[in-house]
Amino acid sequence: MIGAECLLRTLLANQVDLCLMNPGTSEMQFVSALDRVPDMRGVLCLFEGVCSGAADGYARMTGKPAATLLHLGPGLANALSNLHNARKAFSPVVNIVGEHSTAHLQHDAPLTADIEAFARPVSGWVRTLERAGAMGEAASAAVAAALGPPGRVATLIVPADFSWSEAGEPGFPALRPAKPLPEGEQFRAAANALRSGQQAGLLLGGATLQARGLAAAQRVRAATGAAILAHRYAARTTRGAGVPSIERIPYFPESAQALLAGFERLVLVEAKPPVSFFGYPGIRSTLAPETCLFDVLASECQDGAGALEQLADELGAPPAEIVSATRPELPNGEPLTAATVGRTVGALLPEGAIVADEAVSSSEPIWTHLAGAAMYDHLPVTGGSIGQGLPVAVGAALACPFRKVVALEADGSAMYSLQALWTMARERLDVTVVILANRRYRILDIEMQRTGAGAVGPRAEEMIDLTDPEFDWIKLARGFGVEAVRATTANEFIREFRAAIQERGPRLIEAVIA
**Nearer to ligand TPP (CB atom), residue 47 or residue 162:** 47
CB of 463 to ligand TPP, least distance (A): 9
**Nearer to ligand TPP (CB atom), residue 95 or residue 362:** 362
CB of 455 to ligand TPP, least distance (A): 18
CB of 409 to ligand TPP, least distance (A): 8
**Nearer to ligand TPP (CB atom), residue 444 or residue 490:** 444
**Nearer to ligand TPP (CB atom), residue 283 or residue 446:** 446
Chain-centroid distance of CA 166 in Å reads: 38
**Which residues partner with 231 through β-bridges?**
none
Check if the beta carbon of residue 270 is closer than 8 Å to that of residue 205: yes
What CA–CA distance (Å, rounded) separates 481 from 226?
A: 50
Residue 198 has what DSSP assignment? S
> Which spans in 225-362 are helix H?
253-260, 304-314, 338-348
Check if the beta carbon of residue 139 is closer than 8 Å to that of residue 11: yes
**Nearer to ligand TPP (CB atom), residue 378 or residue 442:** 442
Look at residues 260, 283, 274, 288 and name the one whose alpha carbon lies nearest to residue 450: 283
Query: Which sign, positive or negative, has the C-alpha torsion 246, 249, 255, 258?
Result: positive
Q: Could you give the count of Cα atoms lying within 13 Å of 444 in the half-sphere of its Cβ?
A: 15
Query: Which sign, positive or negative, has the C-alpha torsion 331, 337, 341, 347?
Result: negative
3 state DSSP class of 333:
coil
CB of 357 to ligand TPP, least distance (A): 12
CB of 78 to ligand TPP, least distance (A): 12
**Nearer to ligand TPP (CB atom), residue 62 or residue 81:** 81
CB of 383 to ligand TPP, least distance (A): 9
Task: Select the residue whose beta carbon is closest to ligand TPP and give its number.
Answer: 412
In this structure, what is the dihedral angle of CA atoms 196, 198, 204, 208, given to the nearest 10 degrees? 30
Query: Which amino acid is it at 159?
Result: P
**Nearer to ligand TPP (CB atom), residue 69 or residue 437:** 437
CB of 414 to ligand TPP, least distance (A): 7
Residue 415 has what DSSP assignment? G
Report the interface residues with ligand TPP, using CB under 6 A: 81, 360-362, 384-387, 410-413, 438, 440-444
What CA–CA distance (Å, rounded) separates 44 from 427?
A: 9
**Which residues partner with 70 through β-bridges?**
97
CB of 192 to ligand TPP, least distance (A): 40
Q: Please report how the helices 211-224 and 304-314 are oriented relative to each other, as an axis angle in degrees rounded to 10.
A: 30
Check if the beta carbon of residue 354 is closer than 8 Å to that of residue 376: yes
**Nearer to ligand TPP (CB atom), residue 267 or residue 443:** 443
**Nearer to ligand TPP (CB atom), residue 96 or residue 509:** 509
3 state DSSP class of 97:
strand
CB of 451 to ligand TPP, least distance (A): 13
